[in-house]
Structure 1
């Protein structure tokens, strides 16, 4: 029998009793949990790549990056060729802020875990917006923010080389509303490490406001911290849930396998 419980007051559902991730009852409950609770967890499911892909396709089309649908997540250069850039994941972020339509959801399976650190934290930007004062909602509703890959990478490498800058700036920046007005009527905050500056505001004042807002959006009451175990499946709504990896050693064997699901709603 499939059962479920909340991961925290503000977000998340943990399912137990799942033996077949493609069972129609579970697929339906998982989709509902993702929409309304933002994060879902099944411990000890031990999906292989094909099973992970099959489950991911119940949520939508899987992104194929250079023909690759399963992406290894590791900051160990011996494991991942993208290890250098993945260190940006230690900072709160949404994936796809440089795109008109961000990815809808992300799945991760735990293959190897870090001896120390290496957890993943999530924070609910729907709840963060809903709990703002009316005055702050009115203020933020009118603001637009430029997001860039460079902004996130400068947190990792504050003194970049010319080559670093060339690589970062090859990714387009993207301007969007600070408050995302959803087609279903809900609203969420679009913030995180890629938020570079607020349009039309002094840069220093802009930085102060963005930092204050991120601190608000990631306070403990809106968060869930996941401590990985081998075999875990974690899925989250990338459009409304900020996430970050907790630091771990570069030499660690920590390895997660990721899929991303194509989005269906543009930033607005």
Structure 2
């Protein structure tokens, strides 16, 4: 079957209709979604309230699941599946967490531009985020198109970036926010990895920037110079022309390609309940 996709942004992102994610997908539907992901990189499915079982079943159509930051947290989860990331401000007891709780710090870290699990090898391929409870206002999620951002760079800067690699570390974004209370075991749970600043997308053949809050420095450059380069690239890539902003409704599921998209949550009243669940697949095709 053909999946209907309506553009949400001139460069990327589309809304998908006429498909029920609560039902088992056929191979044709899976291939069509993958084709759309290669083209649009962000897909929005409205009105799809998924149980944990249904979300996991949907995600498994697209490859092996990964736990990402769960390895560092080393804490119990509210969820049935360890592969579901708890993107919420809710404690294990089901109550909204205190403002200084670790759950809330994680929410602030999610408000930095990042690619899920860029701090591991292999990194993430697709993330699938399901909205369970949304606050009265705020809490949107923004996505930026790193393929279009690369295409718009001056040619001399594109050439300068070739061959450069950045180190990505799981706790770099937390350290930026003053969240340093981690044991030695947690700090070493996921050693840093390096990625080229410019990669090639396996599904489309297009080049893209691979940066974000987990990138700590550029190999071979003085720390200050490398960090300013990363900051300059991020400033360029997150201009409004490259950004799609999603305003959540309960039951939305948004799926994105972490290889060529950065994302961030937006500010909201942290005392208002916000619950989202994320499933993420590993990238099995690195070019």
TM-score, normalised on structure 1? 0.88
The one of 89, 93, 105 equivalent to 2:126 is 105
Q: Does 1:261 align with 2:281?
A: yes
Q: Which residue of 1 aligns with 2:153?
A: 132
TM-score, normalised on structure 2? 0.83
Where in structure 2 are the equivalents of 1:1-268 lying within 5 Å? 3-19=4-20, 22-24=24-26, 25-63=28-66, 68-77=82-91, 78=95, 82-157=103-178, 163-164=181-182, 166=184, 169-170=187-188, 171-183=190-202, 185-266=205-286
Q: Matched residue pairs, number?
A: 264
Distance 1:259 1:123 in 2: 20
Do 2:89 and 2:273's aligned partners in 1 also have CA atoms closer than 8 Å?
A: no
**CA offsets per residue over residues 7-49 of structure 1, 9 Å max, x none?**
1011111012323554435433321111221010111111222
Do 1:12 and 1:37's aligned partners in 2 also have CA atoms closer than 8 Å?
A: yes
Corresponding residue SS for 1:221: helix
Distance 2:96 2:284 in 1: 32
Residue 199 of structure 1, CA deviation: 1.6
Distance 2:168 2:113 in 1: 13
Residue 122 of structure 1, CA deviation: 0.5
Assess, with a 3 A threshold, how the Cα gap between structure 1 residues 71 and 97 changes in structure 2: closer, same or farther: closer
Structure 2: segments with no counterpart, 5+ residues: 72-80
Moved over 6 A (4+): none
Do 1:101 and 1:265's aligned partners in 2 also have CA atoms closer than 8 Å?
A: no
